Structure 1
Amino acid sequence: MEKNDQLSDLQFSKSRNRKKIIRTILQIIILCVLVVFVVYNVFYTTTYTPYTEHTQDEKGFIAISYFGVQRTAGSQQLISQDRLRRHLAALKKQGYETITTEDIYNYYTKGIKLPDKAVYLMFEDGRRDTAIFAKPELEDFNYKATIFTYPNKFSTKDPKFLSPDDLKRLTQSSYWELGTNGYRLYYINVFDRYNNYLGEMNPLMFAMLHKYLGRRYNHYLMDYIRDKYGVPKESYARMKDRVSYDYEKLESTYMNDIGYVPSVSILMHANTGSFGNNSQVSGVNAYWLKKLFKMNFNREGYCLNKTDSSIYDLTRMQPQAWWPANHLLMRIEYDTHQKMKFETGDKKRAAQWDLLKGACEFIDEKIYLTSLPQGQGIIKLKRSNAYKNFKLDVELMGNKKGTQEILLRSDEQRNNYIALTISGRELIVKEKHAGTEKELVKKSLDNINGVPVISIPEDQHDAKERALETFSRYAESTGLGKVYLERLKTENKKTAPTVKDGAKPYIPVINANEKGDEKISLTLQGNILKIMVNGKDAITTKVNDNNEGNIFLLSQWSGHGFDQRNLADDVYDAVFNKLTITNLPNKNILFTSKYTGFNKVIYDLKIYGEKLVGWFVKYL
């Protein structure tokens, strides 16, 4: 028995040691990969070469500002490294060269000309991942950018944000210069969407509550601090001291930690009257902006700044994380009235379609169809006029605020067709005959997908609970935190009437950045149309049009979605992923955007590789 125990212990020790060796080897491999990744993505090996062309003084310049950059796609806030590369590559193809803060200052004060196509490239919030993942793109395109920071972050040691030493190294690399978003990000006069007064909150509190907030809030420097009735809670002198304190702290922090105050600022939030929502507050901001900075960006939504623009009231455009390159180019074209050459992507696949409106890019297995501003994007599958019975599979991945549409059995003029439409949260089947459109079926995608329906009182109750939870977590004192916790316990005991009880359902307003992702499988045979959504039977209906016809894909802007930053974007991108059209009954493929064979293997390896690198970045 003792020998067996010794043998068992010996085997256990060998197994444990073997696992230790394997684990150590894996750790060394991971560490080496991480070191290589950091060295490649942090240390610059080249030097930025400034432009030499000075040919225009009338066109002005465009300013483009990104919130931040992350390694992989997925966020609706931070642009992926790959998409940023596509944006910058598209700008480079158009002939755009980056300019500096000093170039802008000289343009307005000394009349020094800019390059024919000048872009001022901006990255906000001073994020560490931005510096890492924008680096190879700036180097490859010889682009210089300005990174904007909140100096109150310098003392927090938050690893998400660049430290003063990081910023010094960045500016020494020659690819970056420094700007400021103001001293801090802080919110005042906040109400939830039910007009309940919440008061003041920091960004972490705002993030916890954003799901329940409307547009009734303001930035720290934009207004008086007010009570729930809109009455100022501070005198003019107190407001002036409060606002001035932020600028004084900004100045002293930059001087102590960086050695100078950046020349350019962004006044948060944008698009107010003058430099604030109140004339007296605006006057205080104007004094400090002109005292500390050479220029200020005060507007958002349009990218063009011309000779008659005020150097303290400049405007920038903020490309969103979901924009394909053509969305950016479309916005620039309509702001500047300069013709853009849009991206097509995979030329072989693009050649199978006729572009009728907007712009279209084929990337990997996706078709990005970009609309005209406040208009449509339309493409037609070539030689599809004889299509009648077929199966169509596609994943519609455009944002929910907008319309993605597939026309079947259509004539060339689109006066007769059968249409499958996804708009907002609705799935619609329509038929058009002799120019008159008729709706056959409309269904809620939320109902099809089994999304729970809550009542307005339930949502109000949830909003109140979330607010109490937030204020208890971030209370200024332990005693105040306990007060909020007691209120939260009381609120938790309450119940709200449900829809079944007769209460009205809560129907969320669609956010501008709300993702859409619906897998559609459609079968059209004779006069029967069947549609499945995400593997569920959704619609079976009779259609009258039994003629052969073309296949069209459409994207359509359908109004501004809700956005707490009041972003006004009037271009929409429909995204058709893995589109496959199969003829019936013989089942031959008429078109597919899916990869097959060796190309599929390569594409899958690329996707898995990106996921692996993303895992390293996230967890190591």
Structure 2
Amino acid sequence: MRKFFRYLFQYAILAAFASFVYQTAFRRDTAPVHDRALWSQRDGFVAISYSGITLDGQGGLAVGKDTLRQHLEALSRAGYKTVTTRDVVDFYQANKPLPDKALYLMFEGGRKDSVLFSQPVLTAVGYNAALYLFADRLKGWNRFFVRDDEVRKVADNPFWDVNAMGYHSGLINQTADGHYGYFLSEYLAAPDGKPAETPEAFEARVARDYKQAYQAIDAATGKPPLGYLFIPANTLGVGLPEPLARPNQKALQEDFALAFTRVGETYNPREADCRALTRMQVGPDWTADRLLLEIGSRMPKSRFLDFAASVSQGLWQVGAGEIAAKGPRLTLANPAGKDGFARLRGSEGFENFRCEVKVDPSPDGASLIYLRYRDAGSFVRIQTTADRVLVQEKNGPSLNTIFQYVLPLDHTGPVAYDCCVKSNRLLLAVDGVNVSPYPIPLAVGTSRGSFALGSLGDGGSHVASFADLRLATFPPRWVEAGRVADVPLAEARTLTTVVLPAASLTADPINDAAALVSVASSGVTAFLDLPDADAAKVGEIAHFVANAPASLVFAKLLHGFVLSLDRFPDPAVLAKTMADLRARGLAVALRLGPAGKARLLATDVALAPDWLLFDLPPAEGEDDMTVLENRFDKSRMLFRAATPDDSTAVYYDVKG
């Protein structure tokens, strides 16, 4: 009875505020301010969602409007700035930047009270949000949901985007014993539980549902929906069988620019699949402080030191198995029939980093260290068994062993690893010994990813044990030298690229190839500097590199060329030259002095170098740098750094 009166009260509130809905919730207020010209962050964004907003916070997963106000005010004070669905699409599809602490705010279900009670809060804080709804409810009987005649006003409101959760909101395959299925994740079943549709009929039904959702929202709002929220979460791309997943993924690709398919994590890095994004659902009992802590525990980290406390701090996302802290150690037990897996939250997008960790080998199974984990089809990992170490890489359907090291017969105790991962190379030491004379090459597809631990064993018998973990990322660091002898290879662990002169290529290609081998053996990529080369000369040298006596070495070890903007009066010619080099598999770094910087600011040609190399130190607070950081990835902008007195080399670092 209490529940009945609460719903009756809720209906009365909605009826009493019907005019308020149109005058406040659906009217055009002053739009949230988005200073997109000042945005320069290209790392990722946070996504959080609310299942519903009510007057008093009563009713399942709904959050009270006062709690919502506290949450959004706290997020605003912490510096979070909301972005629109279009901003997220442009981030992934057009490499456009986002603001620092970018926040994508979502409301699920299309409830009218979510719009009604959150609108004053959004207005006060200056935030915008995305409303995700089932399109069949636009014409449904339930007045709790935004209707067809109201949704256009929501879409026209500058505080809201309207997106889809599918068309059919009803469950399928419901049985007397409580089983039910979601519309897009099961075949239709007959009363006896057997499939009542063919795979072809399922594919047609799925495609039709996505089309209907898109078309219904487009027709009702006059604005095509960009985003999609897949229900149930954590199935598509995770555990949904391939015959069921494939039609959904195909329809998403055809109809929607981005999709949220997962829940639990809140941070989406730039390497994420834009149709497999994640959001964190906010609990109805969360305080503002807890919300900030939950977000903070999932944000990217550059260092992780307190290994033993990581479990109690909630820093591990456990995909399968059980993780526990035992003194200074972490243990991960794998469940029967599955691989144990735990990913370190905040390690998304790890690119250049060092890792030290000790692993206890076991005859019962294998322990896994994932150095770059993107998903189940893309990762680099180290597998430790009782007698050997395997470096494995997966970048597609097959798992490949790319390096193997047999432990000494008299080996006892833990295996101590010292790894350095940078660019597409892995430097590996085991028990203090460099086990490979050359860096282990990695595929381009595994260039970034999360740090994770794993456990393999038959019948859930293995408990992997890890201790003394040290992780530290480091930014790109380049050095330019006249010859390899001047390159400080003693610093090779944190040196990412060396720039060598290309002038001697035609004179002594064999020695130049040897120089590249020396550099690559330290895990450092090589660029050749072409300071005096115009378009014709660049083409000539690129052709020579491909056909020189040592061209096989050049093709494998040369990463790209450094071009000078001063040598290209016509930026269109430069753009074409860059495209020609990329077609040969070579990257381009564009060198800029003060005059070149001014020219780059002034040009309206879409130049897209892989790196910008400034022959000047970074400056703070310059408007022109803000403009460049808005146009180019600032993590790929390097500035001349101070040179040690005893060095003839020139260093380039990212802006600190």
Q: Same fold (TM over 0.5)?
A: no
> Which protein, 1 or 2, shows the higher relative CO under an 8 Å CA cutoff with sep ≥ 6?
1
> Normalising to structure 1: TM-score of the pair?
0.44
> Normalising to structure 2: TM-score of the pair?
0.42
